[in-house]
């Protein structure tokens, strides 16, 4: 076997190993809250971009997956327009009744996926992220570093879809991610 074939085989083996590890960790995190069985996280387990939403919307609840509604489709288009990788994972923080377990789940899911970029899609997600990580609440539109990750909060992606002015505001906030892709 050539050196490049051996390298490709090893890369494939490591990818499978990391995905298996992430799957176990994601399943353990989802098991923390009863509501997680109703609205589960979805996407690439080794995502470059982690999308964190607070309350599940009607589309999420109907399909049982985070960002399964119109907001997920619109967000996908926005992130594509910014040139962000398609490797994305999404989840909602406000599932289950126990705040402590929700925050633990948020942290465990973030660490399991281990993204380069975290996007907090509304105020609830930003509040939960700040509490889970013991940091100041990220300001909407300001790209910050938290434990080696670029973190960006928005002022409410799903709510902005119904209001042209708010949609433009959230788009300006998302454009701060252009700095993350430069580094």
Q: Each residue of 111-148: pLDDT tens digit?
A: 999 999 999 999 999 999 999 999 999 999 999 999 99
Task: Quickly state the pLDDT bin for 39 (edges 50, 70, 90).
Answer: confident
CATH number (domain holding residue 80): 3.40.470.10
Residue 45 has phi, psi (to 5 degrees) of -65, -20
d(CA 132, CA 3) in angstroms, rounded, equals: 44
Residue 9 has pLDDT above 60, yes or no: yes
Cβ atoms of 94 and 56 closer than 8 Å? yes
pLDDT of residue 182: 66
Q: What is the DSSP string of 115-139?
A: -SEEEE-SHHHHHHHHHHHTSPPPP
Coil, helix or strand at residue 53 = strand
Q: What residue has token string 């909060």? A: 153
In percent, the amount of the chain with pLDDT more than 70 equals 96
Please name which of 135, 136, 128 lies closest in space to residue 102, comparing C-alpha atoms: 128
pLDDT of residue 37: 58
pLDDT of residue 181: 67
Residues of the domain holding 25: 3-182
Residue 56 has pLDDT above 60, yes or no: yes
Residue 49 has phi, psi (to 5 degrees) of -120, 130
* Sign of the C-alpha dihedral computed for residues 55, 59, 62 and 65 taken in this order: negative
Q: How many domains does the chain have?
A: 1
Q: What is the DSSP letter of 54?
A: S
d(CA 137, CA 161) in angstroms, rounded, equals: 23
């Amino acid at each position: 076997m050539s050196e490049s074939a051996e390298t490709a085989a090893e890369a494939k083996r490591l990818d499978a190993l990391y995905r298996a590890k992430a799957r176990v960790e994601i399943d353990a995190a989802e098991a923390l809250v009863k509501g997680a069985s109703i609205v589960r996280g979805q996407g690439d387990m080794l995502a470059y971009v982690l999308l964190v939403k607070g309350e599940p919307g009607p589309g999420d609840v109907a399909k049982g997956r985070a960002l399964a509604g119109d907001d997920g489709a619109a967000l996908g288009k926005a992130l594509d327009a910014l040139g962000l990788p398609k490797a994305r994972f999404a989840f909602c923080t406000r599932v289950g009744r126990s705040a402590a377990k929700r925050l633990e789940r948020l942290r465990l899911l973030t660490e399991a996926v281990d993204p380069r970029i975290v996007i907090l899609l509304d105020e609830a997600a930003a509040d939960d992220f700040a509490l889970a990580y013991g940091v100041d609440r990220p300001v909407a539109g300001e790209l910050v570093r938290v434990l080696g990750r670029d973190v960006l909060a928005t002022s409410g992606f799903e709510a902005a879809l119904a209001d042209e002015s708010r949609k433009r505001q959230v788009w300006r906030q998302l454009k701060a991610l252009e700095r993350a892709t430069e580094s």
